[in-house]
Chains A and B, each alone.
Chain A
Amino acid sequence: MATPLLEIKDLHARVQDKEIIKGLNLTINRGEIHALMGPNGAGKSSLSYVLCGKDGYEVTSGTILFKGQDLLSMPAEERARNGLFLSMQSPVEIPGVIVSNFLKQSLNSVLKHRKQEELDTINFMKLLRSEAEKLGIKPEFLKRFVNVGFSGGEKKRFETLQMSLLKPDFCILDEIDSGLDVDALKIVAEGVNSLHTQDNAFLVITHYQRLLEDIVPDIVHIFADGKIIKTGDKSLAAQIEKSGYASFLTKDKQ
């Protein structure tokens, strides 16, 4: 059997003194879309930060293999260059950094790592404009400062644009539906679906089943109190929508 894309075993992690991940097991193969659903404060975003190596998120025990390699020994930038991408829930505004310059630097550091030829400005701009157009992003947008004054929809579309440029193997979409109206959600979901191939995988983090109608998962996990408490197919999401998380949480406690 092929090596799983991502294999997390008995992961424990903390922020300062607070334990946030308490024995998580998760295996994701290429070609799969997983959904991670759970109530507020369950530690979903924390899990994504642990995976991406954000400072302050400390793994106390357990292992994570990404493409068969020890992910935890890699610094954050190397994880990204190796094909891990986090679409953030609330992407931070960076005044003074122009979208196109940032994307060029990001893409070239990834290409360099893959031992592919880096793009000069002309070729990069050509690629950027065509990818942007597919997502309905206007050229003026590319001259703006990163995330500054972006609407909710623009922010998420911009995250999707980055995915389409960097072509990561594994994408974590942390509440990509938050702050989006129905139309914006559709555009982003279409963008994500068009990027999905048999070679990559997605972990979709969300509160709501609504998103999962547009980005259809193969596997749904319910995540609460730092670990996965139930795994099923997409019907699990519908069940949550109907009866809420409470029923699963009580069952777990019993």
Chain B
Amino acid sequence: MNDLPLIQNANMFLSDRPSVYAFRQQSLLSLTKKGYPTLKSEAWKYTDIRPILNQKLTLEHNDLCNHCHCQTEKDDSFALNIFFCNGKLHIEDFNTPPGLNITPLPLALYNKEYTSYIGHAYDADKHPFAALNGFYLEEGLCICVEKAAKIAKPLTINYNAHSPDGRQIHLHNIFIIEKGADIEIVENYTADSDATYFNNIVNEIYIKEGGKLNHYIIQKESHSAYHIALNAAKIQKSGTYHQYYKASGAKISRHENLINLEGPSANAEIYAAYTAKKECLNDITTNINHLSQNTTSSQYVKGVLEENSSAVFQGKIHIAPHADKTCGTQLHKALYLNDNANLNCKPELEIFADDVKCSHGASCGEINKDQLFYLISRGISKKEAIKILTEAHLNEIFALIPNEKIQNKYFY
């Protein structure tokens, strides 16, 4: 069993409390049975993960981070801040407003109310890295917004990579948005060095009837790092999930959304903007399942590809039988800064109902020469003008962000 890449100390992780043990063992079984994806796996055909497996990454056992200054930017006036450093939570009293409960995962694992949610939003057989994450289930947060609670301040989870060279980090979060509740959660991934490490994140998101989550994710990992994230959401009747994603980091970045619109009139919107940096790969894969009537989804993704970069966009919309009056749209627009860039775009529509509206579109192009001339003719240098136009391409996504403070602090 220990021969499987990235799996270490199996016995230690399988000797915990029975409920946790069972889940870890189940996850390991899935991974052992299915193995890691290869280029022959349909969902991973454009993203070669062998460099991650070949790195011989290790787990860190230090419990706490005492030495870093990752909290220096703490500003609770704007948002409630939580810090992880190299995958370890800074234990502190969360000054949480009424209606919001934040429980570190190790504690949540003792709470029956929460354990029933773990591993419920995805199928480990189909998500090998979530299975790996499940095997190492240890760190993360369980965030629960009580019924009808409207949390005014955003909750920001800061994940700092403080020179975690050669390490693998697995984080598992559960977001539970109870009936009629409303919250904004920001996830901010940063690195303070060019370290090689692997961040493997699973967010399980449960939105109950009429609940609303605005989820902002900023991925600025080190350019030698690997970042694989799964956001698995189950959305009940009239629930709303809006995700705003900005990515510019990681050597290999895979951002996957698995969204089940389970109740009538559930709604999901994904807005993403990425920059595939030189020699890096940026993958955004989305699966949206319309499982009920009147459900709506939209995906709007814009990317910039630098020299010798690669990008992947896979967007699947599945509409189940009887999920009538649904609407699903998908659009991807890429901008090449250089001819030596590689984009793989795969839209998939799978429609089993009759009365639906679905669309997909993809485009790619170079910098518009007239726009470039306009800026240059106003005294702006060519280099600066290209930078402005590149940012502008992505700004169209950021302009859609409803919270101006979050928009200015994290996106522009």
Contacts and interface: CB of A to CB of B under 8 A. Distances in A.
28 contacts: A52-B373, A53-B377, A54-B373, A55-B369, A77-B377, A77-B381, A77-B382, A80-B376, A80-B377, A80-B378, A85-B377, A86-B377, A92-B368, A94-B371, A94-B389, A95-B392, A95-B396, A96-B393, A96-B394, A96-B396, A96-B399, A97-B389, A97-B392, A98-B395, A102-B375, A109-B381, A110-B379, A166-B379
B369 A113 contact: no
A96 B392 contact: yes
A120 B253 CA distance: 37
Nearest to B369: A55
Contacts of A53: 377
A46 interface: no
Interface in A96-118: 96-98, 102, 105-106, 109-110, 113
Q: Is the interface of B mostly helix, strand, loop or mixed?
A: helix
B380 A109 contact: yes
Contacts of B379: 77, 80-81, 106, 109-110, 113, 166
A97 B376 contact: no
Given A81-B379, A96-B395, 8 more contacts: A77-B382, A80-B377, A85-B377, A86-B377, A96-B393, A106-B379, A109-B384, A145-B392
A216 interface: no
Interface residues of B, number: 25
A239 to B, nearest CB: 33
B368 to A, nearest CB: 7
Given A105-B380, A106-B379, A94 B399 contact: no
Interface in B352-407: 368-371, 373-382, 384-385, 388-389, 391-396, 399
Contacts of B373: 52, 54-55, 76
A105 B374 contact: no
Contacts of A95: 392, 395-396
Which 9 A-B residue pairs are closest in the complex by CB-CB distance?
Answer: A96-B392, A96-B395, A106-B378, A80-B379, A109-B379, A92-B370, A97-B392, A110-B379, A81-B379
Interface in A158-206: 162, 166
A79 B373 CA distance: 12
A166 B380 CA distance: 12
Contacts of B393: 96
Contacts of A105: 380, 384, 388
Nearest to A103: B378
A149 to B, nearest CB: 13
Interface string B287-302: 0000000000000000
A166 B389 contact: no
Interface centre among B368, B379, B384, B394 (most CB of A within 10 A): B379
Interface string B128-143: 0000000000000000
Contact of B371 (A79, A92, A162): A92
A106 B379 CA distance: 6
A197 B375 CA distance: 26
Nearest to B395: A96
A166 B379 CA distance: 9
Interface of B: 368-371, 373-382, 384-385, 388-389, 391-396, 399
Contacts of A166: 378-379
A80 to B, nearest CB: 4
Nearest to B397: A96
Contacts, number: 77
A75 B381 CA distance: 9
B285 to A, nearest CB: 25
B376 A77 contact: yes
A146 B375 CA distance: 10
Contacts of A54: 373, 377
A65 interface: no
A52 B373 CA distance: 9
A39 interface: no
A88 interface: yes
Contacts of B399: 96
B25 to A, nearest CB: 49
A92 B399 CA distance: 20
B378 A92 contact: no
Interface centre among A79, A97, A145 (most CB of B within 10 A): A97
A91 interface: yes
A127 to B, nearest CB: 16
B199 to A, nearest CB: 29
B376 A94 contact: no
Contacts of B377: 52-54, 76-77, 79-80, 85-86, 88
B117 to A, nearest CB: 39
Contacts of A88: 374, 377
Contacts of A91: 374
A145 B374 CA distance: 14
A79 B382 CA distance: 13
A55 B385 CA distance: 14
A106 B384 CA distance: 10
Interface in A70-86: 75-77, 79-81, 85-86
A86 B388 CA distance: 20
B372 to A, nearest CB: 8
B389 A77 contact: no
Nearest to B373: A54
